[in-house]
Amino acid sequence: MTTEFPPERPIAHVYDAAYAGVPNWDIGRPQRAFVNLVEAGLVRGPVLDVGCGTGELALFLARQGYDVLGIDLSGLAIRQAAEKARWRRVPAHFLIWDALNLRGLKDAGFSFRTVVDSAMFHVLGDSERDRFIDGLAEVIQRGGMYCVFGDARDDETRLYGISPAEIRNRFRDADGWEVVFAVRTVFERRWSRNPAYFVGVRRR
């Protein structure tokens, strides 16, 4: 199922242009970190996949029996994801939606026990990261998990990428968050691979 809402941010057109071809980050399967997450029994449904792109992670999770909603700014990516779901006969759902407006999902009656993020947070600006986290607090159920994967940032003077230190700083205990794991791993792309971090945060 796919439902369309007009994207709010002009950057949607940038991603539409990327998905007119095959972006370097779209490897035709989920990143291994998320496969390990499922194998460890740490995913609980319903699941929200933010920045889902053409849907490989959402489709993988749906095949494991999870109720999954994938959202992305790019209407083209969402249409490709919905087409994959139809041809593969996988019951995943997709929605053109801005991940900076998660409160809107709450207002529409959605809540989730797991939110997965495969390389979305790591491209956000500083204020966008705070806005996204505020929205997460609205849609993640108590005891639910946010699992974020992105390029490793070893220089804290740069914004692009993620680091465990930044995640701990932004997801504060005082605000009801708890970092439960942080591992260094690899971000596989179609023509390259580079260091990455995978971090899990629980909503208390």
Q: What is the mean pLDDT of the chain?
A: 92
Residue, of 1 and 38, whose pLDDT is higher = 38
For residues 167-195, average pLDDT? 95
pLDDT band at 192 (very low <50, low <70, confident <90, very high): very high
pLDDT at 15: 77
pLDDT band at 167 (very low <50, low <70, confident <90, very high): very high
Contact 78, 92 (CB under 8 A): no
Q: List phi, psi (to 5°) of 153.
A: -110, 110
Beta bridge partners of 177: 203
Please state at what angle helix 56-63 crosses helix 32-39, rounded to 10 degrees: 20
For residues 160-180, average pLDDT? 95
For residues 13-30, average pLDDT? 83
Domain harbouring 65, CATH code: 3.40.50.150
Taking only the tens place, the pLDDT of each residue in 99-127 is 999 999 999 999 999 999 999 999 999 99
**Domain residues for 129?**
2-203
Q: Considering its fold, how many domains does the chain have in total?
A: 1
Burial class (CB in 10 A: 0-12, 13-18, 19+), 37: buried
pLDDT band at 9 (very low <50, low <70, confident <90, very high): low
pLDDT at 10: 55
Amino acid at residue number 96: I
For residue 160, the 8-state DSSP code is S
